[in-house]
Chain A
């Protein structure tokens, strides 16, 4: 890993998810920043210039799908991985704006593989 770690924005309304993702992703050498809701996520997306976003869907206020559409409108080349406990949002074609859709699990192997793949440009 280079001395300039890639920055990942994790957006989720559950504190336990932030703790888990932060620990696992920092172990992989990434810098992690957090937002608990969509509105804060959009502010951080612009001010912190993350290299990748991990985005929950079902959140109070602005939902993840709406956040995704705003983020892709602003910066279409920043990869956004949807991370939801509910696979049914895959049927919502608005989710197609994302670069990947991972169903939440306490085993983060799939998520970490996706992060790695997208930060390496495919």
Chain B
């Protein structure tokens, strides 16, 4: 019989269609052809991107030239624009403001064919360092309330360009999904005086049903009520509400566990399209006792259609206990 499960943080319900019990080979992952041709993110083509706002690894002074290990550039065709005032206003009952924000692209590696799961650990650590550096810099702009960092991998997940990159958008509002998560965490904290994510980590480690992998500082789990087969959350074991609080020893722990997590995903579902999103506290909230930053990884193996749009429910054909077991038992390269 299918099972309805409720997410303990935001109260979202999902349907776990246990009887379908899809295994990795049941998912049809469309093989993407490697496209040739010009790549605007490769070294030597820096002039096709806007001027960089951050670069690591150049041993000589040549801004916007080659020799870099990682670059961050504003989006050439941004969803929001950096210059201007918010001009918050109403139109009857409706609220609006100017589309102000920062939209940046993190070019994660100079190597066109590297992926998160194949790049060396020191390269992946630069990616997390860049997230932190850019959030710290953009947080100085008082117009911004929230910064979302995300990655789209594969065409089905929204990225047709193979060169490994992630994106960052600084927003003048806290997005609704994040606000729901903050509200859910606060409600739990007011009732139990504990962080819900800390409780989840504690229980998952005790039960060991949905743990994928862990090290001293971080843990990867398949959440109890996942929206997608093989959905994973990567969480710091110590309570921390802001990603920018990540210290050096944690950065190493995050890098090694995140790499292992993504290599496991690649071993189970080779080249599966995915999105990952960093959930951290709003820019003006410091040291929240009730919120816990984390990274959510969503493989793109199911379709969001009328039922999901109409109800907010997701139908998941692989129970998270099964997803976690398969991922845990996988042997990545």
A-side residues, CB < 8 A to B, are: 65-66, 68-73, 76, 90-97, 101
A-side binding surface: helix, strand, loop or mixed? helix
Give, as a whole number of angstroms, the nearest-CB distance from A106 to chain B. Answer: 22
B-side binding surface: helix, strand, loop or mixed? loop
Query: What residues of chain A lie closer than 8 Å to B79, measured between beta carbons?
Result: 90-91
Q: Which 4 A-B pairs have the closest CB atoms?
A: A69-B37, A72-B38, A90-B77, A96-B40
A45 and B194 alpha carbons, distance in the complex (Å): 65
Let me know if A73 and B158 touch, CB within 8 A.
no
Give, as a whole number of angstroms, the nearest-CB distance from A70 to chain B. Answer: 5
B70 interface residue per 8 A CB criterion: no
A70 and B35 alpha carbons, distance in the complex (Å): 10
Partner of B36, one of A68, A69, A92, A93: A69
B48 interface residue per 8 A CB criterion: yes
Known: A95-B77, A101-B77. A70 touches B161 (CB 8 A): no
Give, as a whole number of angstroms, the nearest-CB distance from B39 to chain A. Answer: 8
Query: What residues of chain B lie closer than 8 Å to A91, measured between beta carbons?
Result: 77, 79, 158
Q: Find residues 22-70 in chain B having any chain A CB closer than 8 Å to their own CB.
A: 35-41, 45, 48-49
Let me know if A97 and B40 touch, CB within 8 A.
yes
Query: What residues of chain B lie closer than 8 Å to A73, measured between beta carbons?
Result: 36-38
Interface range, B side: 20 to 34
Let me know if A93 and B105 touch, CB within 8 A.
yes
Partner of A94, one of B45, B49, B105, B161: B161
Let me know if B37 and A93 touch, CB within 8 A.
no
A32 and B159 alpha carbons, distance in the complex (Å): 33
When each residue 234-277 of chain B gets 1 if its CB lies under 8 Å from chain A and 0 otherwise, what string results? 00000000000000000000000000000000000000000000
| 25 A-B pairs with C-beta separation under 8 A | A65-B160, A69-B35, A69-B36, A69-B39, A70-B36, A70-B37, A71-B38, A72-B38, A73-B36, A73-B38, A76-B38, A91-B77, A92-B161, A93-B41, A93-B159, A93-B160, A93-B165, A94-B160, A95-B76, A95-B77, A96-B40, A96-B41, A96-B49, A96-B161, A97-B48
Let me know if B37 and A72 touch, CB within 8 A.
yes
Known: A69-B35, A94-B160, A96-B49. 16 other contacts (CB 8 A): A66-B35, A68-B37, A68-B38, A69-B39, A73-B36, A76-B38, A76-B45, A90-B79, A92-B161, A93-B161, A93-B165, A96-B48, A96-B77, A96-B161, A97-B38, A97-B39
B-side residues, CB < 8 A to A, are: 35-41, 45, 48-49, 76-77, 79, 105, 158-161, 163, 165
Give, as a whole number of angstroms, the nearest-CB distance from B13 to chain A. Answer: 30
Query: What residues of chain A lie closer than 8 Å to B36, measured between beta carbons?
Result: 69-70, 73
A68 and B45 alpha carbons, distance in the complex (Å): 15
A94 and B105 alpha carbons, distance in the complex (Å): 12
Give, as a whole number of angstroms, the nearest-CB distance from B160 to chain A. Answer: 5
A69 and B112 alpha carbons, distance in the complex (Å): 14
